Structure formats: C-alpha cells, structure tokens
Amino acid sequence: MASSDVARQMDKNARLLALSGHVGFDSLPDQLVNKSTSQGFCFNILCIGETGIGKSTLMDTLFNTNFENFESSHFEPKVKLRAQTYDLQESNVRLKLTVVNTVGFGDQMNKQESYQHIVDYIDTQFESYLQEELKIKRSLHNYHDSRIHACLYFIAPSGHSLKSLDLVTMKKLDSKVNIIPVIAKADTISKSELHKFKIKIMSELVSNGVQIYQFPIDDESVAKINTAMNGHLPFAVVGSTEEVSVGNKMVKARQYPWGVVQVENESHCDFVKLREMLICVNMEDLREQTHSRHYELYRRCKLEEMGFRDTDPESKPVSLQQTYEEKRQEFVGELQRREEEMRQTFVQRVKEKESELKDAERELQGKFEQLKRMHAEEKSKLEEKRRSLEEEMSVFSKRRAASELLQAQTFNTSSNNKKDKDRKNSGLM
C-alpha cells in the first residue's frame, strides 16, 4: 500500500471528538503568524522582456522605491541574468526581495540562446535547493531560497500578435515558473486595440499550449476577485516613478502633450490590478506553487534520473534505503565490471607488448648472429693475411741472412787476394 493510501485510510479511521472545555490549540494560526513575521519572507521575481521595455521602471513602481538600475544596450553578445537582492520592510513585516533582470534578451541573432540561459538559471536555483535538502545537516530555516516565484513576462505593445521568441520562451518556462504576462507601455496603444490585443494574446497562448499562472479560486476568501482578475489577463501596465500634479494631489503618472496617464488609475491601466494580485493577494500562493508544483516536478525528474523510485515493477512500495542499496550494488557491480575490463585490457596490452619485445629480441638475435658470422669471417681473413705476412717475413729474413753471408764471403775473399798481392810485391823488391 502506498503512503498516500495509508494516509487516506488513517483519515477515514480518525474519530471526531467534542471538547468539554478550552484547550488552546486554536491559537496555532496566531503562533504561525508570529513565527513567520519574526523569520521574515522571501520573494523572487524574474523579469523577462526586451531591452528598454520598462522592466526596471515597473519594479520601482510596484514596490514604491528605487532599485539599483543599470543601463543596458542592444548589443549584448548573450543574455545575462542580473540578480539583485534587497531587504524591504513594511510595518513589522520584513521581505527579502530578489529581482532578476534579463539583460540583452532577444538582441542576438541566435534566439535559442535567449531562452536557454533563462532555463539554465531557473534549473540552477532548483538544483541548489535540492542539494541543500539532500544534505545530512540541513539548514533550510536560514537558507536563502533563490527559486523564482513569479515571472513577469513583458510583451511589446505591438497590437498584432506575439513574437515567435515570446511563444517559444514561455512554452519552455511554463513548467518551471509561474508566468504572469503583462503588456508593457500600455499607454502607447488605444483602448480598443488593447482589448483586441489581449484577446489575441490569450488565444495564441491557448493554441500553443502555454500554461500561464492562474490566480487560485479554491480559497473562498479570494475566489471572487481572482476569478475576475483571471479574465483581465494579460495585464496592461504603465510604470512611472515621477509624480505629477492632478487636481490638488500628486500622483504617479506619465505626462504627455495630450494629457496625463495615471499609473494607479484603473481606467488608465491595470497596474493596480497587477500589484494587488501579485503582492497583496497571491504572493504566498506563488511561493507555494513554486515549491509544490514546479520544484517538485524538477525534484521528481532529478531523482528518477538518479534511479530512485517509490514502487517496484509490481507496484509495491520501495524504501529509499532499499533503492540506495540497489543503486549501490549496481554501482559496485559496474565498478567491478569496469575493473575487470581494465584488467583484461591491461593483460592483453601486456601480452601484446611481450610479443612485440620477443619479436624485437629475435630480430636483435638474428642481427647479432649475422654480425657474429661477419666478425668470424673477418677474423679468419685477418688470420690468413697474418700467416701470409709471417711467411713472407720468414722468406725475407732467410734471403737477407744469405745475402749477408754472401757479402761476408766476398769481402773475405777480396781481402785475402789483396794481402797475397802485397806480399808478392814486397818479395820482388
């Protein structure tokens, strides 16, 4: 039996009892309010729209302050997401507000890069929260939640139809963030054209399957106003921080030669409706939808990619420990398999290397034998030459000895002849 089935069964088995006196748990809502007030709240808004469409001005107008705004050009090489976090306080309620602006959106030749950076940023915030949840020692109570709670998508007041980039971007984001489309600079288009433009936008969103954020109607306290406001989407807004004198009071407005457009005048634009719906009525629902719908979808897909599941193929519940052990055994088996493959590869390479070395050794041995034979032949030739030289030397020595003997004999004969001649000459005298 699944955990949800067990919970429903327990609800059915629960008995309703009457209390005979005051207990005190009716103060739980007050305790929750006090705890939330002391901890403070966080809210993160993503503003998507082309450069110069009025994103920063509308943020300043919505929160009645001046945020840090940076000048942007139409020549950015890629879309940059610039996040700025501010601590705001109204009465005794503290709000940590993060405004994420898309710089250079739609200015590149490759429009895919425009929405891909936004998708990656949203997924990065989900991943950061998931990693914090998966820690052994978690600290979610003081963790700065950077997940995007609301996406204000600014539509240019063309009066015709949505751009292809707008449709593709919203389709890529509708499962990741609460999209609230707004028509920017609504004072540049007539009321009749604006009405037709709104109908055209909603028709295109429905026909392309884009799911925008719908204000909740399940709560009876806000069902009526939210139902009415769902019919006004997309909101046509005008932003301005300049104050203009109208009658005897100063109001936020935009002044033109032909008249004054009052920001907070509901007959002029939908700014008040947007502020009420976004901040006063549905801010907590936007936070809840982000956590229970968009983040849960991301978390589920991520865990399924990692191999975790709630039930086995037979629809029996599987514990996280069981899944972990299975994944661990699978990982160990895969590790052993890869280790065996590496070992076999290593053995094969060693054998190949040994074979190469043996071939090289045989080649060297053959060369050595060849050199050895050549050496023996050379040595034999040298020995032959040496013997020949020795014989020649012996013959030469004998001839020289004979020559010397002959010379000695000739000298002796000559000497004796001379002596005999001398004696004869001396006898005659």
The lowest-confidence range among 32-46, 310-324, 355-369 is: 310-324
Checking if the pLDDT of 3 tops 50, the result is no
Whole-model pTM over 0.75: no
The answer to whether position 312 is within a domain reads: no
* Cα distance between residue 40 and residue 88, in whole Å: 10
Band (pLDDT 50/70/90 cuts) for residue 12 is: low
**Could you tell me which residue, 52 or 205, shows the higher pLDDT?**
205
Same domain for 170 and 235? yes
Using 50, 70 and 90 to split pLDDT, how confident is the model at 313? low
Identify the pLDDT of residue 65. Answer: 84
Distance separating alpha carbons of residues 154 and 184, to the nearest angstrom: 6
Q: How confident is the model over 71-94, as a mean pLDDT? A: 81
The answer on 341 and 204 residing in a single domain is no
- How many domains does the structure of the chain reveal? 2
User: What's the rounded mean pLDDT across residues 144-159?
Assistant: 90
* pLDDT of 191 strictly over 70: yes
Taking only the tens place, the pLDDT of each residue in 21-77 is: 888 888 888 888 888 888 888 999 999 988 888 888 888 888 888 877 766 666 666
Judgement on whether residues 301 and 262 belong to the same structural domain of the protein: yes
The confidence score (pLDDT) of residue 214 equals: 92
Instruction: Examine residue 16 and state whether it is found in any structural domain, yes or no.
Output: no
Q: 273 and 225, same structural domain?
A: yes
290 contacts 148 by C-beta, under 8 angstroms:
yes
Both 278 and 332 in a single domain? no
Structure confidence at residue 317 as a pLDDT band (50, 70, 90): low
Contact (Cβ atoms closer than 8 angstroms) between residue 139 and residue 102? no
pLDDT tier at 318 (50, 70, 90 boundaries)? low
CA atoms within 13 A on the CB side of 148: 29
Q: What is the mean pLDDT of residues 366-373?
A: 92
Same domain as 363, residue 300: no
- Whether 160 and 295 map to the same domain: the answer is yes
Query: Is there a single domain that holds both residue 207 and residue 348?
Result: no
Query: What letter represents residue 352's amino acid?
Result: E
Same domain, 297 and 207: yes
Mean pLDDT of 121-147: 88
Higher pLDDT, 103 or 125: 125
| Position 419 in a domain | no
Q: Which residue has the higher pLDDT, 126 or 161?
A: 126
187 and 224 in a common domain: yes
Listed ranges 79-83, 131-135, 343-347; the one with the highest mean pLDDT:
343-347
Please give the residue range of the domain that contains residue 393: 319-400
pLDDT in tens, 221-266: 888 999 999 888 899 988 887 878 877 888 888 877 777 888 788 8
Residue 247 and residue 325 in one domain = no
**Which DSSP string do the residues of 105-155 spell out, in sequence order?**
TT-SS-THHHHHHHHHHHHHHHHHHHHHHHSSS--GGG-------EEEEEE
- CATH number of domain containing 48: 3.40.50.300
Q: Is the pLDDT of residue 1 over 50?
A: no
Return contacts of 124-129, CB within 8 angstroms, 24+ apart: 126/176, 126/294, 126/295, 126/298, 126/299, 127/298, 127/302, 129/295
The mean-pLDDT minimum among 135-144, 221-230, 268-277 falls in: 135-144
Burial class (CB in 10 A: 0-12, 13-18, 19+), 117: middle
Beta partners for residue 253, in sequence order: 262
Q: Is residue 49 within 8 Å of residue 184, measured between CB atoms? A: yes
Mean pLDDT within 396-400: 89
Look at residue 205 and tell me whether its pLDDT is greater than 60. yes
Domain membership of residue 112 (yes or no) is yes
Mean pLDDT of the chain: 85
pLDDT for residue 2: 44
Distance CA 220, CA 241 (A): 35
Whether 152 maps to a domain, the answer reads yes
Residue 17 lies in a domain: no
Q: Give the residue from 144, 148, 140 showing the smallest Cα distance to 46.
A: 148
Q: Is the bond preceding 234 in cis, omega lying within 30 degrees of 0?
A: yes
Residues 276 and 232 in one domain: yes
Calculate mean pLDDT across residues 348-369.
92
Neighbouring residues of 115: CB distance < 8 A, sequence distance ≥ 6: 165, 168, 169, 172, 173
More confident: 393 or 74: 393
